[in-house]
Chains A and B, each alone.
Chain A
Amino acid sequence: MSDEQRATSDGRRPAEFPPGVARPGPVLSRRDFVRLLGASAALAGVYGCSRRPDELILPYVHQPPELTPGVPQYYATAMTLDGLATGLLVESHDGRPTKVEGNPDHPASLGAAGVHEQASVLQLYDPHRSRHVRHGAQQADWDAVARLLAPVALGQRVGARGEGLRLLLEPTASPLTVALLARVRERWPAAGVHVHAPFAAPDDGDALLPLPDLTRADVVLALDADFLASGPFHLRWAHDWAVRRGAGGGPSRLYVVESGFTPTGATADHRLAVRPGELETVAAALLAGVRAARGVTSAPTAPTTADEATTAWLRAAARDLAAAAGRCVVVAGPRQSATVRLLARALNAELGNEGRTMWYVRSPLLGAGDASVGSLADLAAARDVDTLLVLGGNPVYDAPADVDVAGLLRRVPNTVHLGLYEDETARACAWHVPALHYLERWGDARAYDGTASLVQPLVAPLFGGHCADELLALVAGEATPRAHDLLQTHWRGRAGDRASGFDAFWREALRRGVIADSAAPRAASAPVPAVVPPPAAPPRAAAGTLEVVLAPCPKVHDGRFADNAWLQELPEPMTTLTWGNAAQLSPATAARLGVESGDELALGAGGRTVRVPAIVVPGVADGVAVLHAGYGRDGAEETARGVGVRAQGLFPRAARYALAGVTVARTGAHHELALTQPHWRLHGREPVRVVAPGQPVAREDAAGGTRRRALPLYERQPGAPHQWAMTIDLDRCTGCGACMVACQAENNVPVVGPEGVRDGREMHWLRIDRYYADAATDAAAAAPAGPLSVAQPMLCQHCEDAPCEYVCPVEATVHSSDGLNEMVYNRCVGTRFCSNNCPYKVRRFNWFDYNRDLGDVEALQRNPDVTVRERGVMEKCTFCVQRIREAEIRASVEGRTLGPNEVTTACAQACPTRAIVFGSLTGAGSEVARLREDPRAYAVLDELGTEPRVRYLARVRNANPALAASRAPSASEAAT
Chain B
Amino acid sequence: MTERRPPAPPGDAPTDAPARATPLFPRWANRAMGVAIAVVFVTVLAGPALLMAWVRTPDLRRQYEPVPQPVPFSHPVHVTGLRLDCRYCHATVERAASAGLPSTATCVPCHNETFMQSAVMAPVRASLATGRPVPWRRVNGVPDFVFFSHAAHVKKGVGCESCHGRVDRMAQVYQAEPLSMGWCLGCHRDPAPHLRPRAEITTMGYVAPDTLGAALMRAYAVRRLTDCTTCHR
Contact = CB atoms under 8 A, between A and B. Distances in A.
B145 A867 contact: yes
B92 interface: yes
Interface stretch (B9-17, B136-144, B199-207): B136-144
B51 interface: yes
A685 B143 CA distance: 45
Contacts of B223: 720
Contacts of A667: none
Given A61-B128, A824-B228, A865 B147 contact: yes
Contacts of B228: 814, 816, 822, 824, 827
Contacts of A54: 137-138
Interface stretch (B54-62, B112-120, B164-172): B54-62
Given A57-B136, A63-B103, A867-B232, A52 B180 contact: no
Interface residues of B, number: 51
B229 interface: yes
Interface stretch (B24-32, B37-45, B148-156, B187-195): B148-156
B36 interface: no
A881 B225 CA distance: 14
A817 B97 contact: no
Contacts of A46: 55, 60
B78 interface: no
Interface stretch (A68-76, A245-253, A471-479, A727-735): A68-76
Contact of A58 (B133, B155, B221, B232): B133
Contacts of A817: 227
A826 B229 contact: no
Contact of A826 (B100, B105, B232): B232
Query: For B102, B155, B221, B227, which residue has the most chain A Cβ atoms within 10 angstroms?
Result: B227
Given A46-B55, A68-B95, A59 B143 contact: no
Interface in B61-91: 61-62
B162 interface: no
B169 to A, nearest CB: 21
B40 to A, nearest CB: 20
A878 B232 CA distance: 11
A825 B92 contact: no
Given A56-B136, A58-B135, A816-B228, A889 B152 contact: yes
Contacts of A885: 147, 229-230, 233
B229 A56 contact: no
Nearest to A892: B155
A51 interface: yes
Given A61-B103, A867-B145, A892-B155, A52 B175 contact: yes
A61 B126 CA distance: 11
Given A46-B60, A49-B180, A892-B155, A68 B145 contact: no
Given A68-B95, A68-B96, A59 B137 contact: no
A581 B127 CA distance: 55
B99 to A, nearest CB: 10
Contacts of A820: 227, 229
A416 B135 CA distance: 45
B223 to A, nearest CB: 7
Given A44-B51, A57-B138, A52 B61 contact: yes
Contact of A892 (B51, B100, B156, B227): B156
5 contacts: A49-B181, A61-B131, A68-B92, A826-B232, A885-B147
B233 A51 contact: no
Given A822-B227, A882-B233, A885-B229, A59 B61 contact: no
Question: How would you classify the secondary structure of chain B's contact residues: helix, strand, loop or mixed?
Answer: loop
A893 interface: yes
A59 B136 contact: yes
B172 to A, nearest CB: 15
Query: For A44, A51, A61, A878, which residue has the most chain B Cβ atoms within 10 angstroms?
Result: A61
Bin chain A's interface residue count: 35 or more
Nearest to A58: B133
Contacts of A537: none
A45 B182 CA distance: 14
A542 interface: no
A816 B96 contact: no
Contact of A63 (B105, B155, B230): B105
A54 B67 CA distance: 10
Contacts of B94: 893
B35 interface: no
Contacts of A52: 61-62, 138, 141, 175
A892 B151 CA distance: 9
A812 to B, nearest CB: 9
Given A59-B100, A61-B133, A68-B95, 4 more contacts: A61-B132, A69-B96, A816-B227, A889-B151
B133 A59 contact: yes
B132 A56 contact: no
A47 to B, nearest CB: 9
A303 to B, nearest CB: 59
Interface of A: 44-46, 48-63, 68-71, 720, 814, 816-818, 820, 822, 824-827, 865-868, 878, 881-882, 885, 889, 892-893, 895
A549 to B, nearest CB: 45
B180 A56 contact: no
A57 B101 contact: yes
A818 B227 contact: yes
A893 B127 CA distance: 33
Contacts of B127: 61
Nearest to A825: B145
B232 A825 contact: yes
Nearest to B97: A70
Nearest to B223: A720
B136 A51 contact: no
Contacts of A814: 228
Contacts of B145: 48, 825-826, 867
Contacts of A826: 143, 145, 232
Nearest to B67: A54
Contacts of A868: 144
Contacts of B103: 59-63
Contacts of A56: 135-138
B102 to A, nearest CB: 6
A702 to B, nearest CB: 38
B33 interface: no
A892 B230 CA distance: 14
Contact of A881 (B92, B155, B156, B229): B229
A720 B229 CA distance: 13
A866 B137 contact: no
Contacts of A878: 229, 233
A70 B98 contact: yes
Contacts of A58: 133-136
A61 B104 contact: yes
A823 to B, nearest CB: 8
B98 A69 contact: yes
B110 interface: no
B21 interface: no
Given A70-B97, A818-B227, A881 B133 contact: no
A45 B104 CA distance: 40
In the A-B complex, list the 6 residue pairs whose CB atoms are closest, starting with the nearest: A816-B227, A59-B101, A63-B103, A55-B138, A58-B133, A60-B103
A63 B145 CA distance: 27
A57 B127 CA distance: 14
A854 to B, nearest CB: 14
B104 A59 contact: yes
Nearest to A815: B227
A209 to B, nearest CB: 45
B52 interface: yes
A62 to B, nearest CB: 5
A865 B233 contact: yes
Contacts of A44: 51, 54-55
Given A44-B51, A70-B96, A826-B143, A59 B232 contact: no
A881 B228 CA distance: 11
A882 B54 CA distance: 34
